[in-house]
Structure 1
């Protein structure tokens, strides 16, 4: 049985996987400004409606976004204000380390260990 520390680390890794997909991250970034409908998210992100709907379902299942029906529309918003704060903090960190991240080849989808790790993590 994993230790509590190992479980906590695994849970953190799972949270960060929610942010790791560029489509999900685009949606979260769009929702930083406030609640939006699917159509508004599609417009802000340039993603297809199907892609947005699929990722919103994922983000909702993991409690990163919440939804509220308003007439014939559903409004989506970040589930916690600290998610927006985390995105802001990420920008601040990237200002300091952007060059290293840009040049890093370890976290690209083309990197062999990335594909192996991602396929065994699920």
Structure 2
């Protein structure tokens, strides 16, 4: 396998891993609607500030989210709008397969419940 392909495969794994956490996915879906501060995300998602901050930092480190400073506040938004195209394609694929991936013994909901 050429090195470029291998790097692309590893990068794809990293991308999907960054979106594999339900909280990060909820943050991304919320930011699709527009900018939000951590305090906004806390109020809207009902999670602790430390949890939201940790996940926003992860998404920022992955270059999926960016922050805009205004005074002492930071407004976060999607850095790559193409991310929503990816999520829409994933939803289409899930629907087409009847959400069978959720039955997967390794990654499905039963496997997650035993973690």
Q: Same fold (TM over 0.5)?
A: yes
Equivalent pair of 1:29/1:87 in contact (CA under 8 Å)? no
3-state SS of 2:97 partner: helix
In structure 1, the partner of 2:7 is: 7
Equivalent pair of 2:69/2:75 in contact (CA under 8 Å)? yes
Equivalent pair of 2:102/2:108 in contact (CA under 8 Å)? no
Equivalent pair of 1:42/1:49 in contact (CA under 8 Å)? yes
- Structure 2: which 5+ runs fail to align? none
Runs (4+) of structure 1 exceeding 6 A deviation are none
- Structure 1: which 5+ runs fail to align? 116-122
Alignment of 1:10-89 (within 5 A): 10-89=10-89
In structure 1, the partner of 2:101 is: 101
Equivalent pair of 1:42/1:48 in contact (CA under 8 Å)? yes
| Cα distance in structure 2, aligned partners of 1:99 and 1:80 | 26
Question: What's the CA shift for 1:58?
Answer: 1.0
Aligned residues: CA RMSD: 2.0
In structure 2, the partner of 1:120 is: none
Question: What's the CA shift for 1:44?
Answer: 2.3
- TM (norm. structure 1) is 0.80
- TM (norm. structure 2) is 0.84
Equivalent pair of 1:59/1:65 in contact (CA under 8 Å)? yes
